[in-house]
Amino acid sequence: MAAVHPRIYGEIGRLQACVVCAPGPEHDAMAPEHITPLRLGPYGWETNPDYLLFDDLVLLPQLQAEHAVLRQLVAAFTGERNCLDLRDLLSHVLAQPSARQAVLDEVLELEGQLGLAGPRLQHLRLRCADLPAAELAQVLFSGLDPDTNEALVTYPAPNLLFVRDLWAVVGQTLVLGYPRARARKRDGIVARAIVRHHHRLAGAQLCAIRGPREGISAVELDDQRCIEGGDVLVLAADLVLIGVGQRTTVVAATLLAHQLAREGVRHVLGVLLPVGRATMHLDTVLTMIDHHTLLAFPPALAQGKGQLDAVAVVDLLADACPIDAPLLKVLADRGLPVQVIACGDGDPRAAVREQWSDGANAFCLAPGALVLYGRNTATLRALNRAGFAVLPPATVIDNAEKLAASGDKFVVTLPGSELSRGRGGPRCLTLPLVRESASAPGFDSATTAA
């Protein structure tokens, strides 16, 4: 198949190429010690280094069934050839000797930093050396020996399900992700290897916020240059928001902003997020769903007090200088006036509950055509009142072309009882590579589907 040429000039253009990641054995490899952020140590409660960011253990068959619906929705708009699975991409990369060695070198370095040493580290090195590519990919996902089912690495990698954070596309630039959480460091290794070595991304224009620096590696646990795709929102060809908080640092956001400015992006704004479980990424509090329309968690945009105060805005191209105005006014002043549809439909209790289950984390298949968890009933009611038809997945899958051509607004109700246990919504589960855009030349499907 021919290369995909990444191109994203907005959040809502019709989806034309996308990466997803079907769940697998890595989720069954999780144990109770992986879902508790704190543990009781000899001196009281302490951070649990084995925490894998999920809120609960998942039922894998149901998780796979829910994700399969999402994949069908994506493929209905992109076509099967342009709906790519991360696991397949990694297997192809690991079949290349040089790429395979580069991945193993980084994985071994990371495992050493995480505490694996001596005979166990040597065993990992020897065991992975001659594994077939697909089996090695399975090890990197599940952390388990394919023959004995014993742990080979420190922990499984269930968060690869949430592909959005692994990289981001802004214009024609592919931004490499450098996750901040220990649990996602191996995810970053996998993603960067795919970007650099898979033929379908050959020739992509890359932006890396970490270059070769003495004493600092790509998998350094404590480096402050960390960025994840859930914090990068491309609202227009010349207007990008970057969330700064729990997962993306101001240092990384500023470095990316200046790189994007060199590529012609005029406005790169930092959105300062409260550090908390509910606000791990910018796309947990707002997403764009149509021309001049945001779906947002109201307290993030209001002048409130408490854990979820209004976000603050800084100009990342002016040394992160604060902008003394609410986010909506800042956007309007830069040519993007927006209206807001409220997560929770105006009910404060419903807003908090549904934002926790990703009620503001919508993913666009086309302008005004979005995917949201069906469990967020109050938010669905607000969308329906704003003119969005509420449709079941089967209707959209069977009528994708007709619906896309009609321009009608609709929201697809994705089942998510298990998917939501990992604290990620439809946007988190998808990584667009190409969208249609009036700001760029038309997309030629023949160039990616060959």
DSSP letters for 380-414: HHHHHHTT-EEE-HHHHHHTHHHHHHHT--EEEEE
Query: Residue 309: what pLDDT?
Result: 56
389 and 411 Cβ atoms separated by less than 8 Å: yes
Query: Residue 212: what pLDDT?
Result: 67
Helix (H, G, I), strand (E, B) or coil at 52: coil
Query: Residue 446: what pLDDT?
Result: 35
Instruction: Give me the torsion for CA of 252, 274, 356, 14, rounded to 10°.
Output: -40
The stretch 238-244 carries a mean pLDDT of 97
Residue listed under structure tokens 């600092």 = 216
pLDDT for residue 448 is more than 90: no
pLDDT-derived band at 263, boundaries 50, 70, 90: very high
Give pLDDT tens digits for 4-43. 999 999 999 999 999 999 999 999 999 999 999 999 888 9
Fold of 15-26+75-211+223-437: L-arginine/glycine Amidinotransferase; Chain A (3.75.10)
Measure the N-to-C terminal CA separation of the chain; round to a whole number of Å: 5
342 and 383 Cβ atoms separated by less than 8 Å: no
pLDDT-derived band at 449, boundaries 50, 70, 90: very low
The stretch 191-219 carries a mean pLDDT of 87
- Cα–chain center distance at 206: 17
pLDDT for residue 308 is more than 60: no
pLDDT for residue 235 is more than 90: yes
CB-based burial label for 407 (10 Å; 0-12, 13-18, 19+): exposed
**Cβ count within 10 A of residue 399:** 13
Please give the backbone phi and psi of residue 272, each rounded to the nearest 5 degrees, phi first. Answer: -80, 120
391 and 410 Cβ atoms separated by less than 8 Å: yes
The stretch 404-423 carries a mean pLDDT of 95
pLDDT for residue 444 is more than 80: no
pLDDT for residue 442 is more than 60: no
The stretch 98-120 carries a mean pLDDT of 95
